[in-house]
Amino acid sequence: MTADRNKFRPLKSGKPPLQLSVEVLESAKEIECQSCGGMVFHDGFKVKRISEIMSPNGMVVYTRIPFAVCVKCGEALPQKP
């Protein structure tokens, strides 16, 4: 196997990557933890099991749902629909 085959290949979604201007990022509101006021978060994942009856391929599927967790207190950032 060559080194080229081992390189990461991004998934092709057909959509260009989201690019935000510096002005948009500077004007965006920073989020604070509602429990402790912390402003640093790390990624967490909920895992959900989809039964074979509900799965599009007829097999059990496990999927990850990402969410943010406060580094300071461990509280999950509330998700709004």
Domain residue ranges in the chain? 41-81
Q: What is the pLDDT of residue 1?
A: 44
**Residue written as token pair 């099991």:** 49
Length of the chain: 81
**Is residue 72 predicted with pLDDT exceeding 90?**
yes
Per residue in 32-46, pLDDT (tens digit) is 999 999 999 999 999
Give, rounded to a whole angstrom, the gap between the first and last alpha carbons of the chain.
Answer: 45
